Amino acid sequence: MSGKRTSGYIIVGYRGSFAFGREGLADVKFRKLSRILVCGRVTLCRDVFGETLNESRDPDHGSSDRYTARFFLKHSSIEQAFDMLQEQGFKLAGSCGSGTAGGSAEQLKPGVDSEENRWNHYNEFVFVRD
């Protein structure tokens, strides 16, 4: 075996909220991430994230040479995910994100904080290994 790593792409995304306190009061929870999503070739995702990869939402446990957008990480530290990608030779190729929800008048589910919902956003990061 030559030790050559498989090239490919992995996309890491998260939905988060900038949690500001009521009436402009500072809150110690500046950023709240609910779940870190992982998309890419199954074998690459497993190689990079190992035991921290949660595959429970991926119904097709067949071939490992397929792509999926159904994985997520068992932790909520985006920096840890970035470190793991860097350690495996991946480089950031691009990123995108949505702004905050602003003053949306949409109907919220019961129990959802309307103030926190105003600060929701989504970000994606594309990593590549040649």
Range with the lowest mean pLDDT among 23-37, 70-84, 87-101? 23-37
Tokens of 99: 């702004």
Q: pLDDT averaged over the chain? A: 82
Residues written for the chain: 130
Q: For position 116, what pLDDT does the model report?
A: 61
Q: For position 3, what pLDDT does the model report?
A: 63
Tokens of 54: 């949660």
Residue 1 clears pLDDT 50, i.e. is over it: no
Kindly indicate the confidence band of residue 100, based on its pLDDT and cuts at 50, 70 and 90: low
DSSP letters spanning the chain: ---PPPPEEEEEEEEEEE-PPGGG---S--EEEEEEEEEEEHHHHHHHHGGGEE-TT----S-SSSEEEEEEESS--HHHHHHHHHHTT-EEEEEEE-----S--PPPPTT--HHHHTTEEEEEEEEEE-
Residue 95 clears pLDDT 80, i.e. is over it: yes
pLDDT digits (tens, 9 = 90+) for 28-57: 456 678 889 999 999 999 999 999 999 888
Q: How far is CA 8 from CA 14, 89, 90, in A?
A: 20, 11, 9
